[in-house]
Amino acid sequence: MKEILDVIVDPGSQPADLAALPLPKSYRAVTLHRDEEHMFDGIETRNRDPRKSLHVEEVPVPELAWGEALVAVMASSVNYNTVWSSIFSPMSTFAFLKRYGKLSPLTARHDLPYHVVGSDLAGVVLRTGPGVNVWKPGEEVVAHCLSVELESADGHNDTMLDPEQRIWGFETNFGGLAELALVKTNQLMPKPKHLTWEEAATPGLVNSTAFRQLVSDNGASMKQGHNVLIWGASGGLGAYATQYALAGGAIPICVVSSEHKAQLCRSMGAELIINRAAEGYQFWKDEHTQDPKEWKRFGARIRELTGGEDVDIVFEHPGRETFGASVYVARRGGTIVTCASTSGFIHEYDNRYLWMTLKRIIGSHFANYREAWQANRLIAKGMIHPTMSAVYPLEETGQAALDVHRNLHHGKVAVLCLAPHEGLGVRDDLLREKHLAQINRFRNE
């Protein structure tokens, strides 16, 4: 791996130098072990500790197949799916690998006793498999996490509808939290030239998801002037939703749980902010009963901020805890667009507030290649910015995942893989200089 790294960081090296290097037999990776998938049985999910389940170890380099690339990973990031994998909740990811492995002899490569996790990367293409014409060794890339087979007609209008759609590094193996990763080349996109490796590794999954969920016609089709209620507005997804709302001429109403997070939203340009912790909303009286008075209090607060208006779009992902309130506060004809259920996936809401006022609930999941490409393009142009707050070495991925699990992080946290230190990989100093303040606004002091 050292020779590979030396060539990548040498400014005088040529793509052919990388292609000429022999592949190593093994690489360091963050893994889960199949024989530990029951280690947390009987422990409440919030008390499960990713540091106990995530290992950093040498694993064999996988065989490269048709349409694939091996990428030398300079940096990756922790997504919430890394938390779900590492706490084996709501199910063990080995079940996904087993199912994928049954599809073909090639997918059987993924069904192993270990799972290399991680759904983001910034790095350099090392090798491409047969049938790959567009991408070449030496190219600097980021990868989005949509893995599709596209053998069925269903996915050919929108690849998210492929029945064999999977999230790379979560439902497939050989993910990005490692020195090498195996991807399909239709996951690759150009690395934004003005960003460091670790900055470039952080937007991929959440930026693409927020773009589809809020902006795309496959999601909420946000328009200029829309009021958009954004839960977790300084978190992984929410900080991109906030940026998209502002960039698209909409009005974000940002919900956060601390003054520091409120300040982060202000730094992005948001003005209407609800600190849910300070204002003490209790949407549930007990485990089974919601409190419509609290929905009303929340709605009244939104109207106070907007000058009497309700929200056109609710950007939902906390799930059970907030969904009843989200349906209630959307305006007549408004849209609740959901991509997750962090606090519980059995949602309850009062359906009268949905049908009598003609609201819509839209399900949204990741993004197709085109949407991911558009979202990455906006990063590359310096119109949407990374939200990286902290950087961890590969060995401390467990701690990084624990911080995200405990909601102690801001924006996104990066992980250095092959990159020996922060700050490498910038190819466009002028564009960086222009946007340095925005790029750094989430950095923890």
Ligand X SMILES: NC(=O)c1ccc[n+]([C@@H]2O[C@H](COP(=O)([O-])OP(=O)(O)OC[C@H]3O[C@@H](n4cnc5c(N)ncnc54)[C@H](OP(=O)(O)O)[C@@H]3O)[C@@H](O)[C@H]2O)c1
> Could you tell me the CA-to-CA distances from 80 to 88, 138, 312, 401, 406 in Å, in that order?
12, 30, 27, 8, 11
Cβ-based nearer residue to ligand X, 312 or 321: 321
Cβ-based nearer residue to ligand X, 109 or 276: 276
- Candidates 204, 299, 318, 334; binder of ligand X (CB under 6 A) is 318
Residues 269-288 that bind ligand X (CB under 6 A): 276
**343 exposure class (CB count in 10 Å sphere: 0-12, 13-18, 19+):** middle
For residue 337, the minimal CB distance to ligand X (Å) is: 11
Q: How far apart (Å, rounded) are the C-alpha atoms in residues 353 and 334?
A: 11
Cβ-based nearer residue to ligand X, 319 or 425: 319
Q: How far apart (Å, rounded) are the C-alpha atoms in residues 344 and 346?
A: 6
Q: How far apart (Å, rounded) are the C-alpha atoms in residues 397 and 53?
A: 11
For residue 444, the minimal CB distance to ligand X (Å) is: 14
Residue 178 CA from chain centroid, whole number: 17
Quick check: 336 binds ligand X (CB under 6 A)?
A: no
Instruction: Find tokens 């779009």 and name the residue.
Output: 313
Q: Give the interface size with ligand X as a residue count (CB under 6 A).
A: 30
Q: Evaluate whether 172 touches 98 at the Cβ level (below 8 Å).
A: no
Cβ-based nearer residue to ligand X, 82 or 227: 82
Quick check: 235 binds ligand X (CB under 6 A)?
A: yes
- Candidates 221, 257, 399, 440; binder of ligand X (CB under 6 A) is 257
Quick check: 160 binds ligand X (CB under 6 A)?
A: no
- Candidates 109, 144, 194, 261; binder of ligand X (CB under 6 A) is 261
Quick check: 206 binds ligand X (CB under 6 A)?
A: yes
Quick check: 263 binds ligand X (CB under 6 A)?
A: no
Quick check: 231 binds ligand X (CB under 6 A)?
A: yes
Q: How far apart (Å, rounded) are the C-alpha atoms in residues 394 and 425?
A: 18
Q: Evaluate whether 111 touches 58 at the Cβ level (below 8 Å).
A: no
Q: How far apart (Å, rounded) are the C-alpha atoms in residues 324 and 341?
A: 13
Segment contacting ligand X by CB under 6 A, of 181-189, 236-244, 290-298, 392-400: 236-244
Quick check: 343 binds ligand X (CB under 6 A)?
A: yes
Candidates 436, 388, 381; CA nearest to 264 is 388
Quick check: 48 binds ligand X (CB under 6 A)?
A: no
Residue 122 CA from chain centroid, whole number: 14
Residues 354-413 that bind ligand X (CB under 6 A): 365-366, 404, 407
Q: Evaluate whether 179 touches 397 at the Cβ level (below 8 Å).
A: no
Residues 59-88 that bind ligand X (CB under 6 A): 79-81
**Chain positions contacting ligand X, by CB under 6 A:** 79-81, 205-206, 209, 231-232, 234-238, 255-257, 261, 276, 317-318, 321-322, 339-340, 342-343, 365-366, 404, 407
